[in-house]
Amino acid sequence: MTPESVARIRDLAEAGVTALRKAGADDGEARVEESHAALTRFANGAIHQNVAADGTEVGLRALVDGRMGIASGDASTPERLAELADRAVRLARLAPRLEPPAVLAGAREIAPVEGAWSEGAGTSDPEARADGVSRLVAAGAAHGAVGFGSWEEDRATVAIATTNGCSAAERRSRTRVLTVMRHPDGGTGYAEAVGSGPGAIDPGSLGDEAGRWAARGGGATDLGPCDLPVVLGPYAVADLIFTLGLLGFSGLALEEGRSFAVPGTTIGAPGVTIVDDARDPGLLPASFDDEGSPTERVTLVERGVCRAVVHDLGTASRAGRASTGHGLPAPNPWGPVPRHLAMSAGEAAEADLLRPIRRGLYIRRFHYTNPVHPRLALVTGMTRDGCFLVEDGAITRPVRDLRFTQSYLDALVGIEAIGRERRLVAMDPGVVLAPAVRIGSFRFTGATEA
């Protein structure tokens, strides 16, 4: 994807808007994404899946007399684009009138962001990925562990145009490498790195990190249901922050009365500050959202107090304010979603986090978490790839994976200390920049079996 692709995809989006007008739309929106994705997966130290896919998808949203229809597909020729526009208009004419009416992005200035695109993106060919996988696997093998994982590279040019004058386009890229190392003694370890390009990723260090933890995890001891203090590593904290974002920090959730995130209320410990910032170069940024609104930094929690939720054009309009640039592509029944989350770092070194704990747990990662009671952010899930007993301020023995059933809000309030190092973790969708934290009490309701 070249700089010229931005102009070409922007032109295609604007041609989509013109096609909508010609087809009879009063107003309309076109979203175009040209993508290239490549992924190399490995298991048992060997590559078992290796894929690449190219595609261009056009989504057209037609508004006719206050009604809305959406058609998406490929638009490889002007005739095909006209056909798609015609379909969207025909759908709109079948729909009932929307009240309040749908809102489209206007001609707001969209400042470019740094870091959305890496010039290194796409320079990693299948041979380079295979060599990277070899280095990663070898680094884990040095600890006696066997490597599993994936190396993923995505590139896209995205453009959005509307009849209201929005015309936004940019290139975006992402490289993510992750690995689980499995040791013959039964231990497993995890490591991942994500960035806008492969340049900053060192596969050897990932294999080394995961291999070291795997080598420590053998001969796990059993622990029954219990409430214990915990230190959660950044991977686990990322799950906590991301899940809270999905469940509560959404204008739609607040509007429907199912959110805990009421601005002005205390929902976290005094040290907890969480922002969503799609303009931060370190958070896989984007200058506009999937509706064409410019992205904004939103402080969700400031020193424990909920400050705001994120909005798309629909929720913002109904709340009497402007979009914060958190819209998803139409149709979007989920509402706005924070996808560039960061929790502020604290001052604690890892040893500081562990030191006050007489008996507790150090948890690297959570698995398969799901809300049991969304309003209370009560979540169940398992520990995975590293769960260790902490005794007298130090990690001592591995523990067999535990099931927890815990309010993530209570956990946020219960944060006693925050680590000074942070790690960028990929989520679906988005990323979280997360530190490690110590929490006074965490509830474990079961354990897995040998």
Q: Which is nearer to another protein, 378 or 395 (CB)?
A: 378
Q: What are phi and psi of 108, to 5 degrees?
A: -85, 150
Amino acid making up residue 60: L
Q: What are phi and psi of 126, to 5 degrees?
A: -60, -30
In whole angstroms, the minimum distance from the beta carbon of 145 to another protein comes to: 12
Q: Which is nearer to another protein, 41 or 307 (CB)?
A: 41
Q: Which is nearer to another protein, 351 or 450 (CB)?
A: 450
Distance CA 259, CA 124 (A): 42
In whole angstroms, the minimum distance from the beta carbon of 235 to another protein comes to: 13
In whole angstroms, the minimum distance from the beta carbon of 44 to another protein comes to: 5
Distance CA 436, CA 422 (A): 7
In whole angstroms, the minimum distance from the beta carbon of 138 to another protein comes to: 10
Q: Which is nearer to another protein, 33 or 276 (CB)?
A: 33
Do the Cβ atoms of 144 and 210 come closer than 8 Å?
Answer: no
Give kind and range of the element (H or E) at residue 94: helix 78-94
- CA proximity to 278, closest of 62, 96, 113: 113
In whole angstroms, the minimum distance from the beta carbon of 116 to another protein comes to: 20
Which residues, in sequence order, are CB contacts of 213 under 8 Å at separation 6+?
181, 187, 188, 189, 190, 191, 364, 385, 386
Give burial (CB, 10 Å; 0-12/13-18/19+) of 429.
Answer: exposed
In whole angstroms, the minimum distance from the beta carbon of 22 to another protein comes to: 18
Q: Which is nearer to another protein, 288 or 408 (CB)?
A: 408
In whole angstroms, the minimum distance from the beta carbon of 292 to another protein comes to: 17
Q: Which is nearer to another protein, 4 or 428 (CB)?
A: 428
b/e per residue, 68-92, with b = 16+ CB within 10 A?
bbbbbeebeeeeebbbbbbbbbebb
Distance CA 155, CA 161 (A): 20
What is the helix, strand, coil percentage profile of the chain, to 5?
Answer: 25, 40, 35
In whole angstroms, the minimum distance from the beta carbon of 241 to another protein comes to: 19
Q: Which is nearer to another protein, 273 or 407 (CB)?
A: 407
In whole angstroms, the minimum distance from the beta carbon of 107 to another protein comes to: 23
What sign results for the dihedral spanned by CA atoms 116, 428, 245, 69? positive
Do the Cβ atoms of 214 and 183 come closer than 8 Å?
Answer: yes
Q: Which is nearer to another protein, 157 or 287 (CB)?
A: 157
Q: Which is nearer to another protein, 332 or 396 (CB)?
A: 332
Interhelix angle for 126-141 vs 203-216, to 10°? 30
Which residues, in sequence order, are CB contacts of 42 under 8 Å at separation 6+?
48, 133, 137, 147, 148, 149, 150
